[in-house]
Every structure is written in structure tokens, then in C-alpha cells.
Structure 1
Amino acid sequence: MTDYRDETTTTTTTTGPAQPNVTVVERRGGGGGLIIGLLVLIAVCVGAYFLFVQSNSEVRKNNAVAGAAQDVGDAAKDVGDAAKKAVD
């Protein structure tokens, strides 16, 4: 918010001309920008947290699928070995 104040005092001296009027402009901040900045920072932190949690969930799911695939591969190898022994 900007306040305009016009000081209209004119001083006349005996040795010179009248002094000019002086306009003083005072600027005051309401603090709204600070509040908006804090809200944006909080929103970014919350979004980063949810992305981090989702990423960990995806990693756990991928590890579980890889473990299951490894178990299936081991079982297939065992079946193949058993079939070889049955032929011999």
C-alpha cells in the first residue's frame, strides 16, 4: 500500500525566494507476498513428499515382481533338471 502525503508548508525567508513544496511518498508492505511464498513452499514440500512415497512404492513393487520372476526361473530350472534325470 502506498500513502501519498503532500506537505504544503511554504517558508518564505527575507533573503531568498519561497521554498518549494515537498511531496513525501511512503511505501508500506502488507506482508501478503511473504504469506503466499510460505504457502507455495509448503505445497512444494507436500508434493515432493508424495512423489517420494510413490517412488518407494514403485521400487518395492518392481522388486517383488523381480523376485517372483527369479523364483519362477529357479523352478523351471529344477523341472528341467528333473526331466533330464528322468530321461537318464
Structure 2
Amino acid sequence: MADYQERPATTTTVIEKRGGGGTAIAVLLLVIVVAIAAFFLISSQTRKDNAVEGAATQVGQAASDVSDAAKDAAKGE
């Protein structure tokens, strides 16, 4: 018969962790890029909102001027 060796009932597995610094740097760069993109998008939207607000103010003022002119014309008749 063939001889065989009994294996021990428990074994220990050693796992070595190497490196991993590249992942942290990549995540940090991704966060920075997203933050910069968000800043520019928000800034762009604010400029658009301000332009629309300015245009609305001018239209409102023009409507008021037309109303005043119509009142003046009606008084003159």
C-alpha cells in the first residue's frame, strides 16, 4: 500500500498587501476634477440666471414706459 501523510487540521494563510497608493491618488484626482467641473457648471448657470434676470427687468421697465405713454396719450385726447 501507498504511504500518505496526514495534513494538519488547521492551516494558516498569509496574505501580503503590496502597494495600493495609486488607487488613493486616482480617487483624489477624480474628486478634484469633479469639484472643478461642478464649480464651472454652477458658475455658468449663475451667469445665465443673472442675464435672464437683467432681461426681465428691462422688459418690465419697457412695459411700464409703454403704460405711462398710453396713459399720457389718453389724457391728451
Q: Determine the structure 1 residue equivalent to 2:58.
A: 71
- Listed as ranges, the gaps of 5+ residues in structure 2 are 1-13
Residues 39-59 of structure 1 show CA distances to partners (whole Å, capped at 9, x for unaligned) of 000001001100110000000
Larger radius of gyration, structure 1 or 2? 1
| Identity value in percent | 45
Q: Structure 1 stretches (4+) deviating beyond 4 angstroms? A: 26-29
What is the alpha-carbon root mean square deviation over aligned residues? 1.5
Letter in 1 for 2:63: A
Q: Number of residue pairs matched?
A: 62
Letter in 1 for 2:58: D
Q: With CA pairs under 8 Å and 6+ residues apart, which has the higher RCO, 1 or 2?
A: 1
Q: Give the TM-score of the pair, scaled to structure 2.
A: 0.74
Q: Give the TM-score of the pair, scaled to structure 1.
A: 0.65
Structure whose residues are more often helix by fraction: 2
Structure whose residues are more often strand by fraction: 1
